Structure 1
């Protein structure tokens, strides 16, 4: 990871709101809002670095869709030929299977960890804004068994992960994701070196996304999210019949040679108490399916994930 990483700060503030914004990023919020508002005032538009929403996408894409797309990391691929030869031959590359290293995934999330990831939303059907979120590590399990193909994965007794981290710290005391990964990797280097092609399909990552600011400045959007990702690019194995892994697979784009890691499951906090309310029936059904995917996944692997067990009973309590 780059040298831009700041040292982690652990400063406490009001703990009544479990998902309160960490103080480190409250300070960042003021600077970001001031700079962006100055840009809007002087030029009548936001900076080129701020995501925009085209008039075409307003009618075609929902706020939930924009959120899922923005929360899906794009990770550079590697090829097995890189380990077998130094020639970089396109022929060898074409015959090999692409994969990604976990260190490339962490690198792709570093900018968002430092400055916040922008999500373009449309409010009231017309007002275009960008809401910034900072990612925090919620949980990760890595499964790898060279002696047993993923197709032999048992649906009744999941294997034990060779690495696991579940975050128990309250959100307002957590380090941003790449800071936490850097700390963990000093004790467990495999957290950087692992290849997606060596990980079983049960390997996963969960990220907690906390809002820090919106541009242009306006009423705060307090909704937070817990998203889940598959970390394996092995051939499809056998999951329990009630769980569909179709939406969990990393999608490889041969044009830019990158993987997109889609969100296959998600829980929200205060989504229904914000002005991002999902109104269309297909949006509500989509959101329900994301929650169900999380329930199935956590239940199948029997994961005592603190964020899940805190958010799950509160998820629907904010619906109007």
Structure 2
């Protein structure tokens, strides 16, 4: 449940390491997924590495039950293990090909509304699914292929998001939410492909955001406001972005990545390199964007490091991503307007 203790890393760097899933991966011939190249992003290699969404969710099981522990050095020189629980903040899944719709039924109960998927191969634009949230209020704007075509950085007609399979945004209070794995299990009841889709099946517009809320520290620390900091991390779910993410990791983090995934196993490898081990390969799914809430003082942002620049970069990446897709993200807006409260 705990992550590395690298003394050369800052608290923020250790947090990023500890919440980065490391997922079992497989390889497939590029010729088998030639459709990926139709989006104007040539892969440039014979094989493509991918992971299954189910394996990704498995990485969050222990974190959802006990929290992900990251070592934090306090200003007093004391070291504590701070634990965070992941909650699914938002997820948008677009497939390169239509996914078979789930059973055609509608359920209502406990404030949750679920509807089956609808698909149209003949449509000139993709249909948007209804919001799947714990509140009936609309907290997001559907992605439209026909909108924002003239705006810089937005999706053009030749780079359409794909076929929308699932769009979910959480808008309820953190105290009313359930941990990520439990929420995924709920969504999978009406969207079973959440357990079978692979990263190579998803378009570049597929992503998720995870809200990390602190639960406790060991040893317990009183009156340490900065340990109340909450984080919001953004992760791509598509193989189309893997090469770009590796380059981003090399430039932006420049450190080793480690993570506790699957029974508390720890893995350390250089950023940007594929992780290999007995029985198969591994892929890290690091955040490309970050937002914070209740961040105070210098515990998370070391003034003698690149933490401030790194955090600014990651926040800007998340903001740019949402604007590119013309999306309203409830948690991002809340974190932005209450970041230092």
The alignment's TM-score, normalised by the length of structure 1, stands at 0.68
**5+ long unaligned stretches in structure 1:** 1-48, 85-94, 148-152
Does the 8 Å contact 1:198/1:234 carry over to 2?
A: no
- C-alpha distance 291-244 of structure 1, shift in aligned 2 (>3 A): farther
Can you list the C-alpha shifts for 1:248-279, whole angstroms capped at 9, x where unaligned? 99863133611111111100001125743532
Hey, what does 2:206 align to over in structure 1? 203
* 1:119 aligned counterpart, secondary structure: strand
What is the Cα deviation at residue 50 of structure 1? 4.2
Hey, what does 2:174 align to over in structure 1? 171
Does the 8 Å contact 2:10/2:300 carry over to 1?
A: no
- C-alpha distance 176-251 of structure 1, shift in aligned 2 (>3 A): farther
* 1:162 aligned counterpart, secondary structure: strand
Q: Which is richer in strand?
A: 2
Q: Distance in 1 between matches of 2:299 and 2:311?
A: 16
- C-alpha distance 206-251 of structure 1, shift in aligned 2 (>3 A): farther
Equivalence map 1:60-79=2 (5 Å): 60-79=8-27
**5+ long unaligned stretches in structure 2:** 33-45, 99-152, 253-270
- Picking from 231, 239, 243, the partner of 1:225 is 231
Can you list the C-alpha shifts for 1:2-58, whole angstroms capped at 9, x where unaligned? xxxxxxxxxxxxxxxxxxxxxxxxxxxxxxxxxxxxxxxxxxxxxxx64452xxx32
Q: Distance in 1 between matches of 2:284 and 2:319?
A: 23
Hey, what does 1:159 align to over in structure 2? 161
* 1:311 aligned counterpart, secondary structure: helix
Larger RCO, structure (CA 8 Å, separation 6 or more): 2
- C-alpha distance 280-156 of structure 1, shift in aligned 2 (>3 A): farther
Does the 8 Å contact 1:139/1:167 carry over to 2?
A: yes
What is the Cα deviation at residue 77 of structure 1? 1.2
Does the 8 Å contact 2:202/2:239 carry over to 1?
A: yes
Report the number of matched residues. Answer: 245
Hey, what does 1:10 align to over in structure 2? none
Can you list the C-alpha shifts for 1:192-215, whole angstroms capped at 9, x where unaligned? 111001111221110000000001
Superposition RMSD in Å = 3.1
What is the Cα deviation at residue 234 of structure 1? 2.5
Matched, 1:99 2:50: yes
The alignment's TM-score, normalised by the length of structure 2, stands at 0.64
